[in-house]
């Protein structure tokens, strides 16, 4: 078998078929046991009492229609075959058949033919290259998936057989059962073993073989050697084979042009932070993971929603040359691995705060954002949707500076191209700015001597809503509200509720990369003692956690036993009338499981991409009418 089938081994998931079931008496008719199976006449020979199964003359096989064929793609996250929607599958099949017709008419295959027409699939996000059997991303580089034409499937799991195997099986099947076919070239294998099917034909493959018993009874047998115990048991029972897997021809459901994704009504540009210098595909993987989380939540909680959001990864780091790798040249060889980690991650912060390179970084991100927007608009003329930005870490700072037009103390003028880009500003309005694990408030605090003077952090004319989302244990994230009004240092940030509004939800059965980042852990003795008077989703209890806590420096010393967004019980309230912020800015994730452990700080900064609470929060803020 090929690698594609070995990744999702059908032999481990299929029920085992045992040929040789007890048949009815002589001359009786056995009805099909499964819907769609053919009717078989069972006759017994008077000489050797061997059953001979003859296919009813009415049972024929015709070539599959386009609606019976399903196309698949294998994405880069779970490495499994996923179905294209009916609209995409039918259009791919049409181009495929046209291409095969041209190839059959040509003497030198595809060499003398022009490239095949590209098919835009998955709601306008990918192109299908039928010549190379690939699905390629349109708006960002590097994402390329294998595609497959599904004809034959394993019964039960509906895992498609590989294309080359399906093609051979289909050709044999039509030669055996097509009404006007000539069966002279097909050899049959008979067996004299009692209680066994008559085998009309056997096709051998390297790791399995396929037996045809009737038009609707095709079985695949693995060539793997069974154990001694299995061989002994099956031998005593008179079974010649033990690993049969029933095959189905044509997909279980017919495709339809009506099965089509809705038009995109909200774009979200996903901007990465530091640490992407040597891994340009990381933001694509993170965006795919977040997109899958949002898609699962939308299907589970809002299946009838007419809204569609699409997430575009924005990779701004690879196009920047900056110092020309001079930092790598001056790096000593001592502790090389740690130095390499710092050069590819934390060094981006130094580059951005440098008076030489800050403008170049902003110009690079701004250019990429505008490129993606205009590329999308050119493919969707007249589009009237909204645009939001989801930024992480340092990306929040760069996006904020681009939106607000902050220039900075750059002593070196950028190149003419960068100057032209900076003078533009973004070419589209922003509906929401979601900041994940953001150090923005630190940057803003260091840019002014009076940070608590009611700064207008994000005018609504530039961005309607600003959300500062962080985890309790994230060592990079800082609050925004106390920067604008000092009294908010004693008011808890808004607690992001569990996704779906209830606790103990059933997570989707997906790979570990999509699992919830906060798996529950058994409570410690101290946590158990405080359980009665401390809310479950509150920040870590100060009395329960002995020792130094980084979060103590950030949260400003409020009383964590109070409910979310409640001030400390003080004789002097922290916020006087008229000092309240018009909109809350700080939103914190619930601290459960590993979130109560100091060791979780190592991974908390990158745990937002596969957190279903974050995904649900973003989805319901993009479309506020969903929950109503």
Beta bridge partners of 388: 268
Tell me if 184 sits within 8 A of 41, measured CB to CB: no
- Three-state DSSP class for residue 65: coil
Tell me if 352 sits within 8 A of 398, measured CB to CB: yes
- Three-state DSSP class for residue 592: coil
- Three-state DSSP class for residue 396: helix
From residue 79, give the alpha-carbon distance in Å to each of 7, 16, 73, 134: 8, 25, 9, 14
pLDDT, position 164: 92
394/283 Cα distance (integer angstroms) = 13
If we measure between CA atoms, which residue out of 374, 293, 49 comes closest to residue 193?
49
Catalytic residue, from 196, 393, 441, 473: name it: 393
159/251 Cα distance (integer angstroms) = 10
From residue 196, give the alpha-carbon distance in Å to each of 44, 161, 187, 239: 12, 26, 18, 8
491/574 Cα distance (integer angstroms) = 8
What band does 354 get if pLDDT is binned at 50, 70 and 90? Answer: confident
Residues 6+ away with beta carbon under 8 Å from 462 = 403, 404, 430
Mean pLDDT, all residues of the chain: 73
pLDDT digits (tens, 9 = 90+) for 305-343: 999 999 999 988 776 666 556 666 666 666 666 655 565
Residue 587 tokens read as: 């939103």
Q: How large a percentage of the chain has pLDDT more than 90?
A: 39
Q: Find which of 151-160, 411-420, 457-466 is predicted with most confidence, using mean pLDDT.
A: 151-160
Return the minimum-mean-pLDDT range out of 59-73, 119-133, 145-159, 403-417. Answer: 403-417
SS (H, E, C) 413-433: CCCHHHHHHHHHCCCCCEEEE
pLDDT, position 129: 94
Exposure string over 509-546, b if 16+ CB within 10 A, otherwise e = ebeeebebbbeeeeeeeebeeeeeebeebbbbbbebbe
Tell me if 611 sits within 8 A of 589, measured CB to CB: yes
Exposure string over 430-463, b if 16+ CB within 10 A, otherwise e = bbbbbbbbbbbbebbbeeeeebeeebebbeeebb
Tell me if 446 sits within 8 A of 349, measured CB to CB: no
What band does 86 get if pLDDT is binned at 50, 70 and 90? Answer: very high
CATH fold label, 266-501+579-626: Rossmann fold (3.40.50)
Question: Is pLDDT at 619 greater than 80 in this prediction?
Answer: yes
C-alpha angle with apex 540: 534 to 544, nearest 5 degrees?
75
Number of other residues whose CB lies within 10 A of the CB of residue 571: 4
393 labelled catalytic: yes
What band does 611 get if pLDDT is binned at 50, 70 and 90? Answer: very high
If we measure between CA atoms, which residue out of 78, 72, 166, 82 comes closest to residue 128?
72
529/539 Cα distance (integer angstroms) = 16
If we measure between CA atoms, which residue out of 100, 73, 61 comes closest to residue 4?
73
Question: What are the residue boundaries of the structural domains of the chain, listed by start?
Answer: 66-177+197-249, 266-501+579-626
What band does 386 get if pLDDT is binned at 50, 70 and 90? Answer: very high
Number of other residues whose CB lies within 10 A of the CB of residue 165: 22
Return the minimum-mean-pLDDT range out of 43-47, 106-110, 202-206. Answer: 43-47
């Amino acid at each position: 078998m090929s690698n594609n089938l070995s990744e999702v081994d059908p032999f481990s998931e299929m029920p085992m078929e045992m040929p040789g079931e007890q048949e009815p008496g002589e001359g009786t008719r056995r009805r099909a046991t499964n819907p769609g199976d053919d009717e078989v006449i069972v006759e017994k020979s008077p000489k050797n009492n061997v059953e001979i199964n003859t296919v009813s003359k009415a049972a024929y096989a015709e070539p599959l229609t386009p609606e019976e064929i399903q196309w698949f793609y294998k994405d880069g996250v779970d490495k499994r075959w996923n179905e294209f929607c009916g609209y995409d599958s039918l259009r791919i099949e049409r181009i495929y058949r046209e291409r095969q017709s041209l190839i059959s008419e040509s003497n030198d295959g595809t060499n003398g033919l022009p490239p095949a027409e590209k098919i835009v699939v998955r709601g306008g996000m990918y192109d299908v290259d039928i010549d190379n059997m690939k699905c390629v991303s349109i708006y960002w580089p590097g994402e390329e998936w294998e595609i497959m034409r599904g004809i034959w499937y394993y019964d039960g799991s509906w895992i498609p057989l590989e294309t080359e195997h399906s093609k051979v099986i289909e050709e044999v099947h039509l030669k055996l059962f097509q009404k006007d076919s000539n069966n002279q070239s097909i050899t049959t294998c008979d067996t004299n073993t009692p209680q066994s099917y008559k085998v009309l034909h056997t096709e051998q493959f390297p790791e399995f073989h396929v037996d045809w018993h009737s038009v609707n009874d095709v079985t695949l047998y693995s060539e793997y050697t069974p154990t001694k115990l299995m061989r002994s048991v099956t031998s005593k029972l008179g079974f010649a084979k033990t690993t049969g897997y029933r095959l189905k021809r044509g997909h279980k459901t017919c495709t339809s042009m009506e099965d089509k994704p809705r038009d995109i009504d909200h774009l979200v540009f996903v901007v990465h932070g530091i640490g992407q210098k040597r891994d340009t595909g990381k933001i694509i993987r993170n965006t795919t993971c977040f997109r899958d989380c949002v898609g699962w939540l939308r299907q589970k909680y809002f299946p009838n929603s007419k809204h569609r959001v699409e997430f575009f990864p924005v990779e701004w780091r690879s196009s920047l040359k900056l110092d020309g790798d001079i930092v790598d040249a001056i790096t000593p060889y001592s502790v090389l691995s740690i130095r390499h980690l710092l050069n590819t991650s934390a060094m981006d912060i130094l580059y951005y705060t440098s008076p030489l390179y800050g403008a170049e970084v902003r110009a690079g991100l701004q250019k990429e954002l505008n490129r993606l927007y205009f590329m999308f608009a050119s493919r969707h003329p007249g589009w009237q949707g909204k645009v939001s930005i989801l930024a992480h870490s340092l990306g929040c700072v760069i996006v904020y500076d681009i939106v607000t037009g902050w220039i900075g103390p750059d002593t070196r003028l950028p190149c003419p191209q960068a100057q032209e880009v900076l003078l533009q500003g973004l070419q589209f309005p922003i509906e929401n700015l979601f900041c994940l694990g953001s150090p923005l408030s630190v940057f803003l605090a260091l840019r002014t001597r009076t940070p608590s003077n009611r700064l207008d952090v994000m005018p609504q004319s530039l961005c309607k809503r600003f959300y500062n989302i962080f985890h309790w244990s994230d060592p990079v994230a800082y609050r925004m509200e106390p920067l604008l009004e000092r009294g908010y240092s004693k008011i808890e940030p808004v607690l992001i509720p569990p996704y779906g509004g209830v606790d103990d939800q059933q997570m989707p059965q997906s790979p570990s990369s999509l699992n919830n980042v906060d798996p529950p852990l058994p409570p410690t003795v101290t946590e158990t003692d405080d359980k009665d008077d401390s809310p479950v989703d509150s920040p870590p209890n100060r009395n329960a956690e002995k020792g130094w806590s980084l979060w103590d420096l950030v949260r400003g010393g409020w009383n964590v036993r109070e409910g979310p967004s409640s001030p400390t019980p003080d004789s002097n309230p922290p916020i006087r009338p008229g000092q309240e912020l018009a909109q809350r800015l700080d939103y914190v994730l619930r601290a459960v499981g590993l979130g109560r452990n100091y060791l979780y700080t190592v991974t908390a900064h990158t745990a937002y991409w596969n957190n279903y609470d974050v995904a649900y929060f973003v989805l319901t803020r993009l479309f506020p009418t969903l929950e109503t």
